[in-house]
């Protein structure tokens, strides 16, 4: 097996994993959104992030198809179950919104890093053409991560106001 072929296998596996990561994000956001309505800014951002995650997953699907591969159905089913658990883990917690936002910041950091990994793998696999697509998704993750990070103080204040209301 040539190094490039080996790198392609690793890259394709990475694309499949990232697809599962995006689908987990979709599931988690879906679970959390109904209870985030008291925080309109956060709610709007989560809605946009949900739509973007669906698009990002579709982009990964397209890249996999382009390389004659497909996403792993089994892996997706397993991750879907994890998403359900992850989405409900903070339900009922008094400070659910804060826990959700902290978890989302961590998740965004993971997503940004995993797109970085994919960019290196794309080069190694001779799939440099894929990079603008991956970079677009990475940029979107960065934007959401930045928004969450810079709005964290506001969200804490909104939470405190909500509690005393």
Interface residues with Fe ion (CB under 5 A)?
Answer: 22, 25, 53, 56
Closest distance between Fe ion and the C-beta of residue 83, in Å?
Answer: 13
Q: How far is the CB of 17 from Fe ion (least distance, A)?
A: 13
Cα gap 26→116, rounded to integer Å: 20
Minimum gap (Å) between residue 91 Cβ and Fe ion: 22
- Cα distance between residue 75 and residue 21, in whole Å: 10
Q: Closest separation between CB of residue 142 and Fe ion, Å?
A: 11
Q: Output 7 or 104, the one with its CB closest to Fe ion.
A: 104
| 18: nearest Cα among 65, 57, 58 | 57
Whole-angstrom Cα distance, residue 122 to residue 125?
5
With respect to Fe ion, which residue has the nearer C-beta, 25 or 121?
25
DSSP state of 127: -
Choice between 121 and 134, CB closer to Fe ion: 134
Q: At what angle do helices 131-164 and 96-124 cross, to 10 degrees?
A: 170
Nearer to Fe ion, 39 or 111 (CB): 111
- Report the residue closest to Fe ion, judged by CB: 53
């Amino acid at each position: 097996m040539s190094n490039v072929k080996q790198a392609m296998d690793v890259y394709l596996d990475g694309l499949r994993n990232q697809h599962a990561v995006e689908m987990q994000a979709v599931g988690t956001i879906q679970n959390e959104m109904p209870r985030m309505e008291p925080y309109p800014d956060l709610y709007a951002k989560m809605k946009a992030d949900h739509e973007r995650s669906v698009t990002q997953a579709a982009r990964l699907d397209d890249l996999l198809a382009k390389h004659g591969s497909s996403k792993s159905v089994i892996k997706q089913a397993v991750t879907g179950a994890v998403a359900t658990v992850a989405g409900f883990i903070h339900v009922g917690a008094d400070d659910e919104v804060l826990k959700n936002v902290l978890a989302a910041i961590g998740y965004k950091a993971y997503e940004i890093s995993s797109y970085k990994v994919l960019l290196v793998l794309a080069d190694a696999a001779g799939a440099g053409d894929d990079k603008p697509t991956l970079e677009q998704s990475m940029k979107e993750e960065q934007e959401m991560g930045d928004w969450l990070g810079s709005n964290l103080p506001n969200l804490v204040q909104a939470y405190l106001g909500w509690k005393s209301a």
